[in-house]
């Protein structure tokens, strides 16, 4: 089973607009997504930046923001079955650059699989997951999200600079 943590923090540049975040096995879902998509970005990013490795890595690392909701008390991750949005674009426009997964909830587990980047359907299913959570742990984490003062993602690791 995978570990799950939920949290919320102010959206970048919009302190009154909280967004939800997720950690899977202690790692921000945005970091998992950056590692899974870095090679898919290669053809699009070649020769686009002066500091190719650094700027490409930062774009890939910050390609998603948290999942925006109008009310922080709203629960965007309720255990369900079907295609589910997990991350949004950092611009704050819903469904602009959305990461989705097929979610499946049973009496004992919640599974996220078949991850897709809706802005790049040609990428198909991403090399990410599946993640299987114990339903009780999932619901406990969802009922007690940490409220953070700022986005916890941090800077892009140098090793992510995959574009020559």
pLDDT tens, residue by residue, 19-32? 899 999 999 999 99
Asked if residues 131 and 109 have their Cβ atoms less than 8 Å apart, the reply is no
| Residue-level pLDDT at 163 | 42
- Strand 27-28 and strand 14-24: the pairing is antiparallel
pLDDT tens, residue by residue, 132-157? 999 999 999 999 999 999 999 988 88
Dihedral sign of CA atoms 24, 26, 29, 35 in order: negative
pTM over 0.85: yes
| Residue-level pLDDT at 61 | 86
Task: Print pLDDT tens along the chain (164 aa).
Answer: 999 999 989 887 777 778 899 999 999 999 999 999 988 887 777 766 555 556 677 888 888 888 876 665 667 888 888 899 999 888 777 778 899 999 999 999 999 999 999 889 899 999 999 999 999 999 999 999 999 999 999 888 866 654 44
Q: Which neighbouring-strand residues pair with 21?
A: 7
Measured N-to-C along each axis, helices 52-61 and 29-45 cross at an angle, to the nearest 10 degrees, of 140
Alpha-carbon gap, residue 158 to 162, rounded angstroms: 9
């Amino acid at each position: 089973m995978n570990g799950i943590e939920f949290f919320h923090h102010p959206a970048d540049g919009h302190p009154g607009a909280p967004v939800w975040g997720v950690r899977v096995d202690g790692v921000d879902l945005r970091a998992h997504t950056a590692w899974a998509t870095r090679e898919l970005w290669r053809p699009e990013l070649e020769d686009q930046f002066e500091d190719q490795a650094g700027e490409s890595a930062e774009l890939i690392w910050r390609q998603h923001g948290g999942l925006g909701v109008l009310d922080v008390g709203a629960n965007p991750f309720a255990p369900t079955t079907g295609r589910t949005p997990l991350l949004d674009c950092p611009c704050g426009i819903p469904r602009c650059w959305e990461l989705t997964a097929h979610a499946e909830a049973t009496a004992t587990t919640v599974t996220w699989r078949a991850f897709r980047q809706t802005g790049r359907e040609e990428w198909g299913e991403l090399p990410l997951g599946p993640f299987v959570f114990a339903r009780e742990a999932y619901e406990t984490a969802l009922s007690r999200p940490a409220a953070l003062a700022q986005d916890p993602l941090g800077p892009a690791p140098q090793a992510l600079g995959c574009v020559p």
